[in-house]
Every structure is written in C-alpha cells, then in structure tokens.
Structure 1
C-alpha cells in the first residue's frame, strides 16, 4: 500500500520544484501533482531519489496512470531522469508530462523510444483597460459569484458535462473540488457562474490568481498574471452566444483586480478554442508535451 509523504519529504519536493523552475523558467510539476503530495490514494505513487542528503529527483504516478518527474539542476546528467522514467513505465505509467517540453526532456523521451501524444499550450495576453468594460449577456442570462456550501454540486455537474471527454478535467471529484477551494488563492468571487432565466447554473468561468504566476504585460515586462483556469458551458446551450461573454466576464474580473496580464491552457488539437483565443489576442507562452511509448503513440 502506498504511503503518504512525510512533512520533510513534502517540503523537499517543493524545494526541488522551485530549484528546477529557477533554472529552467518553467514549473516542472503541475498544480494537481503538487496537490497530490498530500493524497493517500492507492493509485498515486511517489518516487524519491536522495543524493548527499538532498532530494535529487522526484516522480509521481497519478490517478490516470499519468506521470511527472523532475531532476534537481545540481544532479542532472547522472541518469536519475532515465531511471525514474523507466520506473514509472514499470509501474504502469501510460504517459509522462514534460512541462516546457525542454530539449533535455525530449532527448530523454527519445532515448527510451517514447513519442509525444499530446500537446498543451499555455497562452497569454496583456489585460487592457477595455477588458474592464461591463459584459453584455443575451437576454435572460446572468452571472454571479460562487457560494461555498451551496454551489458545489451544480459546478461539478456542469464541469462533468462540459468536459466529458477530457482526460483530467472531466474526472474532477467533490474531494478534488474541496481541496481546490481550500487553497490560499481561491476566491469565490472569481468563480463566476452563468445562470439561465430560472436561476439554474448552465456554465462557469473559474479565474485564478496565483501569486507566483507571471506573464508579459503590454510593454513585454513580466508582471503578476491572472488565469483563465476553467471555462465550462453546458453542451445543451451551445450556439446561443454565451461562450464569448462568459470568457469576457472572467477577464473583466481579473482586470478589476488590477492585473495586467492573463494566461490560460488549451490543448493543441482543440482547434476551435485555439482559434477563439488567438482572435482574443492570446499568444504562445509555453508548450507542455505528454510522452508515451511508441506502441501507445502509434496504435497498430
């Protein structure tokens, strides 16, 4: 049975991730992976490599058999990455994320015969004064903030409908939601709910303000940035002109907080969403790749 990390191990993983972020300019572990450091679950496994009293490398095998790994900058080129990747594969990992898709990560994947199977783009754009303008919704619809203790079931229902085919977002549980709500960055006013004439929740735009997030402002300088975290719309109301104002409402909320830039994540094969975001002025900031064995990348 897997064991939870000790408090010391937990802190060491965060220190390792911070060191890699400083060296590479990209966060090596996703928010979900960091949240799962606290999770005691039979399908979440932690692999730690210590060297000279320091955490040299860390890997996690997550709940959908997806893995992530990071090697401390001071302990690279010692075989830790390859050993962890081989270990993840041996424990049943179907794929492993390479955040930033850095050259070293691509080389490591190629060395064991793994190929990219999914590309996730991180986009950004500056926030301008016009983003603060009031948003006009089609008649009969409204937007309000999330009410903890009241709206959890409705948010989970809409999220599941909107992301039924998404490998991660579509599997968010009540426990996952509760852990997100418990984070320091959570702001109920920033979780916008779209309602119809009856007051029923039919969509949401979850904005996020992580104090560590940075993205280019209009002058190109890195500034604190908000995030378009999750935009969800009930498929039953698609085609009613609701997606654009729902997205704009989130941007207006972030702009009202004084933020000068915004980021979001979108799958490379989601051409409709990419087209929308490009039209809104978003440009590439980072690229994240998921690698898998060739047999998984190219089914027979």
Structure 2
C-alpha cells in the first residue's frame, strides 16, 4: 500500500539561476538555497518511490487556447527548460498517476483534467532542479492554474487535495510518496488579467499567452525584460503569518481566502499558495517545520521552505 512519508512547501524563482551574481541580498539568498539543499536531504532520507509534484502554470505549457483549473500528468512529461531549469523528458510514475486519475474521476470525487503528454515549466521543474537533484525518483505532476483568471477557489483546491490524498492511500502497490508544493510566497508579477490588459506591455503579454504554444521562446526576451523591470512587492508580515499557520497545523485557514483577498494582501504571485494548501491537505494538516524565510527583492519574492514530516510532528 502507498504511504505518504513527507510533505514540502518551497518557493521558486528562476532568478536564482539567471541573476545569482546580481543578487545583492546574498546572505539571504544563500540561506534560502541552503534550506533547499537541506530539504533535499530530508527527501532523500524519506526514501521516496514517487513524488507528487504540485505546481503552477507560467504560460509555457498551458496557453489561453485551453486552461484547465487542474491537470494531472498521467503519461509523458516534458519540461520546457526555461531560465536554466531542467529541460526535456521527466520520469513519471505512470501507474500511480493513472490510479489517481481513475480514483478521483471514476470514483466521482472530482472532475479532473489529465494529460498523457504534459509540458511543465519552472512551476514544477524548479523543484526537480533543487529538491530532487540526483534522487532518480519519478514524479506525478499536477499543474494548478493560478495565473489565468478565473482561478479555482482555494476551497476547491482543498477538496481536490483531500480526494487525491485518499486516492494515494488506496494505491494497492507499495509506494513511499513525498508531496511537494512549489510556489509562493508573496510577490507581484507584471502580468495582466488577460481579460482586461492595459498598455503595450500587457497587450504583448496577453498576445504571447495566446500565440506561444509552438514558439514561446520567441516571446521570452521581451517577456523577461518586463519581469526584470518590475519592482518587488513582498509582504514579510503576510508570509510569516502564513508560515505560522503551517507551523501550528492551521494551514486549512488558507482555504477561506478568496482570490481577490489574497491578491490584495500578497500580490498575484501569492496565488501559488494554492499548491501549499493542497500539499498540507494531503498531509492532513499536520504541523510543519519552517526551514527558511527570506525576503529577496532581486527575486521579487518572499522565499520560504517548510517541511511536514509525519514521523517527527513538531509540538507547539
């Protein structure tokens, strides 16, 4: 039988790869990177047979021609490889992935999209790069739409996570499963609501999201320039409050946020916290251990790492 042995929430930023030398908050950056490496060792010590990898869409695998709220990879998986992240085919635990899809969909628990040829971006591959380096463990990728409104509600994310948790535990073969959530914490990306763009840059971004399926790299230089020109909008107070909820086993309170409330509090990038909520729900909301929190303006993001370990539940 499958057993869930560890949960991880970790922020991501491709600017770690492309602008490390230009990062002036070097001590903060090194502490965050070291926390990722320490988490990788925790994952290795858990001896996983498979990793459920929850991440977001950044318009390199999903486009405005079709945006499901949730898409489970059940076959081939390719990473786009942008900004120094892993590229090409990724190993998938197809048997576990197809079991999850069947249990969740055919069991009437949730209407979930799936893909037998999924393309992921740094919403998942950043975690593969830093948290799974050298571990040779297959993934089951789940892409959550957090950047193309209307977005799935936090409550709906929780409902899917609970269904997935039950489906994991019903898998009849032996599997030690780690659940990783990639994304967050507070940050504001210079990305428009595609339904109402304003100005030349926002028009360009929406056009890239419409037309980029076959040629996303053609748009990437200007897209990168727009992102690099953005000013950081990090909220350490919000981030620490969220991490406190995880540490005290109260992460379920995230499910009460609306999309607009969260964006007002922590920026559009904080919508990625849907993946953290889902991970915590799968882990049955056990208390977490905070390994790092750093506000790094050069990366535009509040960078956090937390681990949920059933074997060493923290006491508070």
**TM-score in terms of structure 1 length:** 0.25
**TM-score in terms of structure 2 length:** 0.24
Instruction: Considering Cα pairs closer than 8 Å and 6+ residues apart, tell me whether 1 or 2 has the greater RCO.
Output: 2
Considering only CA atoms, is the larger Rg found in Structure 1 or Structure 2?
1
Structure with the bigger percentage of helix: 2
